[in-house]
Amino acid sequence: MDESSFILGVDLDGVVGDFYGAMRKIAAEWLDRPIETLEKEVSYGLEEWGIDEYGGYDRLHRFAVTQRNLFRDMEPIKDAPAVLRKLSARGIRIRIITHRLFLKYFHQTSITQTVDWLDTWDIPYWDLCFMADKGAVGAHVYIDDAPSNVIRLRNQGCKTIVFTNSTNQDLPGPRASSWKEVERMVMDAREEWNTGTRTLFGAGTDAAGMDAAGFQPGV
């Protein structure tokens, strides 16, 4: 980890990009169903849409990326690009960490669409990492929405903010429901990192050794 800068590890799908909104539109076409019949409040894997009998999530995902340019054309989540620009201007190093290469044979398409999308929305970043083990690349604070990613990062001792959506309602905080909240939490985390004081991420500990925000002190 680069100790000279405060590093924010940022997931893309469901955090910066409106992945579920974009997938809902594409799935309606793929399933040949009115979009109104597809639930907005979904779980991880989109099983509420009944996609298994059509080939399952992997097949829908492949169609979305290769035939409908999912990673290039999805809309950003409200305020995400602007807040990331503000954080970058304040000296925070943005490290994009995404697991978009989990399916074989169209990695180049996924990477090209990702870079084009980041440039189109003027989203700043120093590093762009395509990998499953997000904790391996290092960041002072992470933000993610996928339950498996959040659990794994926290088990590795990584300070992780949950970006709230319907897939992660059961996860404990700290969590943010908007990018305005993300901005405040990240700035508080950097202040804590700069000064060594315990603010948002360290207002006392409980019997399990966790601070009030859900992080292990000293991590």
Please report, for the chain, the start and end positions of each structural domain, with discontinuous segments joined by +.
Answer: 7-16+76-195, 19-73
**Range 7-16+76-195 has CATH code 3.40.50.1000:** yes
Where b means 16+ CB within 10 Å and e means fewer, 120-151 reads ebebbbebebeeeebbeebbbbbbbbbbebbe
Instruction: Give the SS3 label for residue 5.
Output: coil
Active site residues: 11, 13
The set of residues, in sequence order, having a beta carbon less than 8 Å from that of 135 and lying 6+ positions away, is 142, 152, 153, 156, 158
Query: What is the rounded average pLDDT for all residues in the chain?
Result: 88
- 161 neighbors 9 (Cβ within 8 angstroms): no
pLDDT of res. 118: 98
Mean pLDDT, rounded, for 164-180: 96
Cα–Cα nearest to 11, from 179, 156, 155, 172: 179
Integer angstrom CA distances of residue 40 from 107, 176, 177: 28, 19, 16
Percent of the chain with pLDDT over 90: 77
Mean pLDDT, rounded, for 155-180: 96
- Residue 101 pLDDT exceeds 60: yes
Residue 199 per-residue DSSP state: S
Q: Which range among 57-71, 135-149, 153-167, 204-218 shows the weakest confidence by mean pLDDT?
A: 204-218
**Cα–Cα distance, 149 to 129 (Å, whole number):** 15
Q: Which of the four pLDDT bands, split at 50, 70 and 90, describes residue 182?
A: very high
Q: Which range among 37-41, 89-93, 108-112, 164-168 shows the weakest confidence by mean pLDDT?
A: 108-112
Mean pLDDT, rounded, for 159-187: 97
pLDDT of res. 197: 74
pLDDT of res. 215: 38
